[in-house]
Amino acid sequence: MAIQLLAGLLAILIGAELFTNGVEWLGSRLGLSEGAVGNLLAAVGTALPESIIPLVAFLGGDRAAMHIGIGAILGAPFMLGTLAMFVTGFSAWLLRGRKKVLLQAEAGLIRRDLRVFLWMYTLAVAAAFLPQWCKPFVVVFLLAGYGLYAWNTMHSGQSLSAEGLRPLYLSRGRRPAYFFILLQLGLGLGAIVGGAEYFIHGIEYAARLYGLHPLILSMIIAPIATELPEKFNSVIWVAHHKDRLALGNVTGAMVFQSTLIPAMGILLSDWTLNLAAGLSSIILLLTVGSLYGVIWRRGQVAAASLICCGLGYLAFLLAILWSIL
């Protein structure tokens, strides 16, 4: 079981690294803005693991797989809004003298991302309590919301310079050809899909072995594992003082995970939430809402504010452990 989980996780992470690196170079070659690369290309690329997992789970058809899919959809933004924010803030605090650290990112753009997330995620959660005939309208609204967000992001900011990018893995030249970029994207996507399917089977087996509800297990283990690309990229960008990309990678993934992925879940599943799912949703909304309020009031993004987001994850973990024990 452990070997299966680790093998699936390793394939996901390698695939995500290849895909993210390639998608950043694609954005640079296409002359896209820094916001488009961080909030859209990098965010969507690193969000692929947790996007593929629920799709594979839903296509599996059985009840346990359905719970894993819903848990992965709700667990991904939860980990982003709590643990990924904590890692980003802690990295900035640790790498910059452990004093009062302010991240060099536009507070207005971060507030915009968080505001879109709060509205879209609330709607996605509320869909679980709406009659069936209302759910298609929710799906349309979620898709339209992300489309407007993407259009606005694409038309803001200056083009990203290739100087700040890590070399393409398949080509060490300063200006890699589109062929190598697209080839690396394809290899990364293949590794993500294969690893996700292997990881799903490992979670199902672990749930049966330890008598745990698949939804709870998938909300704790799978999102931590699959959110590692966002955390890794954010730490690297913070270390290079690219705070806009570091935060945009997280907030952009949060918007993506609160719109397109829940829309898929609503269409392919019965979209019912149990107590654990409801608890995580409430904690996440309170955590992100508090962060939004602090940034709005102070007009800046402090590392300490991001570190405090980790309290949301700690509260959920303690609640889950208390219910099990």
The sign of the torsion formed by the CA atoms of 14, 191, 167, 106 equals: negative
- Report the pLDDT value the prediction gives residue 47, as an integer from 0 to 100: 74
Q: How far apart are CA 171 and CA 181, in angstroms?
A: 8
What is the number of other CB atoms lying within 10 angstroms of the CB of residue 140?
11
pTM of the predicted structure, to 2 decimals: 0.80
- Report the pLDDT value the prediction gives residue 287, as an integer from 0 to 100: 96
- Report the pLDDT value the prediction gives residue 114, as an integer from 0 to 100: 95
Q: How far apart are CA 48 and CA 191, in angstroms?
A: 11
- Report the pLDDT value the prediction gives residue 138, as an integer from 0 to 100: 94
Per-residue pLDDT of 251-261, as tens digits, reads: 998 999 999 99
Q: Is the Cβ–Cβ distance between 80 and 313 less than 8 Å?
A: no
Per-residue pLDDT of 192-250, as tens digits, reads: 777 777 776 777 677 677 776 655 665 566 556 666 667 777 877 787 787 888 888 89
Q: Is the Cβ–Cβ distance between 142 and 260 less than 8 Å?
A: yes
Q: Consecutive sets of 10 residues in the chain, 325 residues long: mean pLDDT of each?
A: 76 78 81 76 71 75 71 83 92 81 84 95 92 91 94 73 75 83 87 75 72 61 63 76 85 92 88 80 94 91 92 85 65
Q: How far apart are CA 178 and CA 80, in angstroms?
A: 31
- Report the pLDDT value the prediction gives residue 293, as an integer from 0 to 100: 95
3-state secondary structure of 102: strand
291: closest CA among 280, 302, 282, 281? 302
Domains present along the chain, CATH in parentheses: 2-324 (1.20.1420.30)
Per-residue pLDDT of 200-216, as tens digits, reads: 677 767 767 777 665 56
Q: Is the Cβ–Cβ distance between 46 and 229 less than 8 Å?
A: yes
